[in-house]
Structure 1
C-alpha cells in the first residue's frame, strides 16, 4: 500500500511538471497544492516558487515562505537556500540574518553551491554569524570546487592575506591565490585577470609555474568530472 501510494504521488508530480513544461501553470499549481498538502517535498518547493512568482496562483511571498519552510524541514536543499534568501532580504518574512545563516548552512551542508557562497560572504562580513575569515574561506572553497566562479575569485582574494582578512587568521598563500585567479579567469571572471597581475610580482617564475600547474590540473579534473556526470 505504501509503495503504491508513493508511486501515485510520483506519477502526479510528474504530471504537474508536464503542466509546467506546457506553460499551464494554473493546473500545475492546483496539482502541486494537492500534493504539497500531502507532504510531497518537491511539490512544496515548486508551489513556493509559483507563489513567489505569481505563476498559476496569486503572488504571495508569505505563502512561498510557508511552503519552503515545509520543504526545508523535510531536507530540501533548494528550499533551504531559498528560505535563507527570503530571511536575508526580508521578503514574506521579517528580515533576520541569523535565521538566513541558519538555513543557508543547512543547504550548504548538503552541497548547495549558491548557499555555500552566500554563507562564505556572511562569514566575511559578520552578517548573522560572527566574522570569521577561516569559515569564509572554507565555504567559498566548497563553492569554488563546484565551479562557482564568484567563489573562485573570493578564494583567491582571501589567500592574498591581510588586505582581505584584517584579523590575519588566514594563512597568506600567493601560489593558491594565483591558482584560483587563473581558474576564475578561465571560467570568465573579468576581475580575475587583474588579480593575476596584482599577485604576479609576489611570485618567482617557478612559483607561477607551480600555480599554473595546479590550476590546469584543477580545470582538467573538473571538466572530466562534468563529462563523467553527463555520461
Structure 2
C-alpha cells in the first residue's frame, strides 16, 4: 500500500518505503561505491520494483553509464521514468535528456519539456536552462518569452553557465520577454566569452560594433523602435514580428527575409528586408548582419494610393532608392 501511495505522489509513503528498505538500500550503495555494480544491481532490483525511487535512480545510472558493459538507454529510461513519476528531480532530468536526444526512447520534445519542467520545479538547477530554452524556441511547449527569460534569470542565479549567460544576453539585447538592456547584454556576453563560448565571442563583437555605429549616428531614423544605422538581423527580426508582420521566410542563407506585411503597412502584400553580408565578420548570412534595405510590395491599385504611400515613406526615411512597376499593370515595389 505504501508503494501504491508513493507512486501516486504521497511523500509520507515514499519516506516509509525508504525506511522499510533502508538496510538493503545502504547495502547496495556500499557495493556501488566499491564499484561492484553487478552485486549492487542484485540488491537494489527487488526494492526498486517495490517503489524505492532512490534505488530506481541508481539502476537508471547503472544502465545509462554502462556500468555493466554497453550502455542500455532503454532500460535506463524505464527506471528513470518510475523514479521521475515519484517526483525524483535528478531522474526526471536524466529522463528528459534521453527524450530530447532520442536515446533508448523515441525522440519527443513535448515529453522532454514535461520532465525538464518537473525536474526544475523540484529544484534541479541543471534543468532551468532547458526549460528556458524550450520556452524561448517553442519546442514541446507554446512559445513564452517572458517565462523563458524568467527561467534563464533563475538559472543565472543558481547555475550560471556560459550557455545561460549567452542566451539571456540575447534576450536582453533584443528586448525579448522584458525590457531591452544593452548594458546587461554586454556584461553577460563578456562573461560567456571569457569562458570560451564561441557564440558569445561573436555576439559580443556584433553588439560592440552595433553600439559603435549607433553612437556615431545617434539621430538615425527608427523603424519599429530600432535605430536603422547598425540594426542587426536578429534585432530587426524580433522588432518586425513584434510589430505584427508574419514571416514567410527567415533564413540566414538568404540575403533577404520575407514577411506578410498587411498588418504593418496597409495595402501592401509583402515586405522584403535585405541585409549586408558578412558585416559582422561571420560566415555568409548570420544574426549580426546589418540592415541594408527594405522593400514593400503593393498589388495593382490606383496611382493616388501608391503615391501617398511613397510620400509617407519619403517624409520619414528619405526618398526610396528605387521603385518599379506600374499601378496600372500589376504590383509595384
Q: TM-score range by the shorter chain?
A: 0.7 to 0.9
1:18 & 1:72 partners in 2: Cα distance? 23
* Deviation digits for residues 54-96 of structure 1 (CA, Å, limit 9, x no counterpart): 3237743222222111100111111111111222222222222
Specify every segment of 5 or more residues in structure 2 that has no aligned partner in the other structure, as ranges.
Answer: 1-12, 213-333
Q: Are 1:53 and 2:65 counterparts?
A: yes
In the superposition, relative to structure 1, how do residues 182 and 58 fare at CA in structure 2: closer, same or farther (>3 Å)? closer
Q: 1:149 aligns with which of 156, 159, 162?
A: 162
- Structure number with greater CO (CA < 8 Å, separation at least 6) is 1
2:69 & 2:48 partners in 1: Cα distance? 14
Corresponding pairs, count: 199
Q: 2:33 aligns with which of 21, 28, 51?
A: 21
Structure 1 runs of 4+ aligned residues shifted over 6 Å read 2-5
1:195 & 1:59 partners in 2: Cα distance? 38
CA drift of 1:120 comes to 1.5
Compute the RMSD of aligned alpha carbons.
3.0
Match of 1:101 in 2: 113
Name the one with the larger helix percent.
Answer: 1
Specify every segment of 5 or more residues in structure 1 that has no aligned partner in the other structure, as ranges.
Answer: 204-231
In the superposition, relative to structure 1, how do residues 20 and 195 fare at CA in structure 2: closer, same or farther (>3 Å)? same
In the superposition, relative to structure 1, how do residues 92 and 190 fare at CA in structure 2: closer, same or farther (>3 Å)? closer
In the superposition, relative to structure 1, how do residues 194 and 42 fare at CA in structure 2: closer, same or farther (>3 Å)? same
2:47 & 2:169 partners in 1: Cα distance? 45
In the superposition, relative to structure 1, how do residues 88 and 6 fare at CA in structure 2: closer, same or farther (>3 Å)? closer
**Normalising by the residue count of structure 2, what TM-score does the alignment of the two structures yield?**
0.52
Name the one with the larger strand percent.
Answer: 2
* Deviation digits for residues 102-153 of structure 1 (CA, Å, limit 9, x no counterpart): 1111111123222111122212222111222222222222212122331122
